[in-house]
Chains A and B, each alone.
Chain A
């Protein structure tokens, strides 16, 4: 297909979009949302989840992940929420995507390790637990502390086998 035709198709497609979207490359830009607002909305979603309102929390986080698809914090929160909801497949997918965007995300690393642990995949669990422990430079990070405790449990379980 000639370039001209492609350009025409692209222009037609652009015109078919709602006007605010035509002028912006992302939904986030179209909605004029700042990072702070995204984080604040995420905080709201986490609070809703803490209250037990996982449905609204999920809707909010899914919406945010559409608005700002490369925000690792949003994906990490969404993954943790899926894990709480026992949606383990979705959780694993979100954790892995989070870590793809930001390999330093200690929360996602620990949570993913625990997910593998719960699924009995101890090899992967150990890999991510070690990674999580290494990511903690201060030695005080609560996620790394959980990783340490999980690692200890894992080692003990293996000994018992």
Chain B
């Protein structure tokens, strides 16, 4: 039994352009056994077309796969660590980092025992594989550079590989982490105050994912609580400044965010967080960009010592570079020679880890270089 699809088109009252039709499967693989039927319209999803013709069908179209849906992966989500092992090579799953989960997502003020100006309110989030000591160092350095009190949100580590898993969970599935939730609540609380507080959000590496996600969650929460888009945009663009660097993916490129659902830059609706800022307000460093794009905006009262503060990812941080530079080129390499790719990446990371232990004699064994302050702000003159 065969049917000419043009008939369906007519039944569905669709404008079928013959020129768009492509010849049917004339050179069909014999083994496939698919019949040739003359001409086919470019039917993208027969079911959605059909539901227009037969409205009753729509009652039956819940929890369906899309057309040409991919089968369910036999690996459970927990087994995504295999994916991470794949991309991260031989990153030791249990590093010598001391897990301090009790502090995960907790706010901590820096510098300790010293009161610096608190306006604007600065929130900073660190990246992966950063232990308590390094975070404290980061917090103090950041505060000193900005001459501001810094509200540091602890992104505790469970070891590099598990931290990467967290990144994947947040990026791939939009599952917020504790630091993300803490930051989202803080942003919401600060912006909905009367008057709203001026905020500066600083994220490095995994912290960029968390920061953007937190902003989007805060926007979503504001919308749920009756704020209009224009109100949110006004609040955001007047009060919030975002500084991100060392992001493992380019959050401005939806193609780098899996499933086209970027948890960071996208809010519950189809808008992105960019829609709530003006271009000048966003300071975003893409993947592989050591310095962010510069903002040509005049310094406002109460802002940083200079409006366009720069963040520097230290190039000597080879471990971070290896991880952060994973991208399109590596996917090419992964395709052509996965074994070589894994070997190269793994050996780089392993040798760097060993060098770290050897050079610093630090008991934590990872990311303890003196020059690794994961959000490292430098004076404009130094950057230039």
Contact = CB atoms under 8 A, between A and B. Distances in A.
B3 interface: yes
Contacts of B67: 83-84, 114
A158 B205 CA distance: 57
Contacts of B33: 92, 96, 124
Contacts of B73: 39, 42-43, 46, 73
Interface string A55-96: 010011001000000000100110011011010111111011
A141 to B, nearest CB: 9
B331 A56 contact: yes
Interface string B1-26: 11111011001000000000000110
Given A83-B68, A92-B32, A153-B54, A56 B75 contact: no
B34 A121 contact: yes
A28 to B, nearest CB: 11
Given A89-B29, A124-B33, A142-B65, A149 B335 contact: no
B255 A120 contact: no
Interface in B48-85: 50-51, 53-54, 57, 60-65, 67-75, 79-80, 82-83, 85
Interface residues of A, number: 71
Contact of B86 (A37, A111, A116, A122): A37
Contacts of B72: 107
A47 B35 CA distance: 31
Contacts of A48: 331
B40 interface: yes
Contacts of A95: 32
A46 B260 CA distance: 12
Contacts of A140: 63
A10 interface: no
B258 interface: yes
B28 interface: yes
Interface residues of B, number: 63
A31 B68 CA distance: 30
Contacts of A36: 75, 79, 82
B296 interface: no
A129 B339 CA distance: 40
A122 B3 contact: yes
Interface in A96-144: 96, 105-108, 110-111, 114-124, 140, 142-143
Contact of A52 (B8, B35, B255): B255
B50 A145 contact: no
Contacts of A77: 70-71
Interface string A30-58: 01111011011111101111111100100
Contacts of A63: 335
Contact of B339 (A31, A105, A122, A157): A31
Nearest to A160: B11
B86 A41 contact: yes
B47 A146 contact: yes
Nearest to A31: B339
A119 B70 contact: no
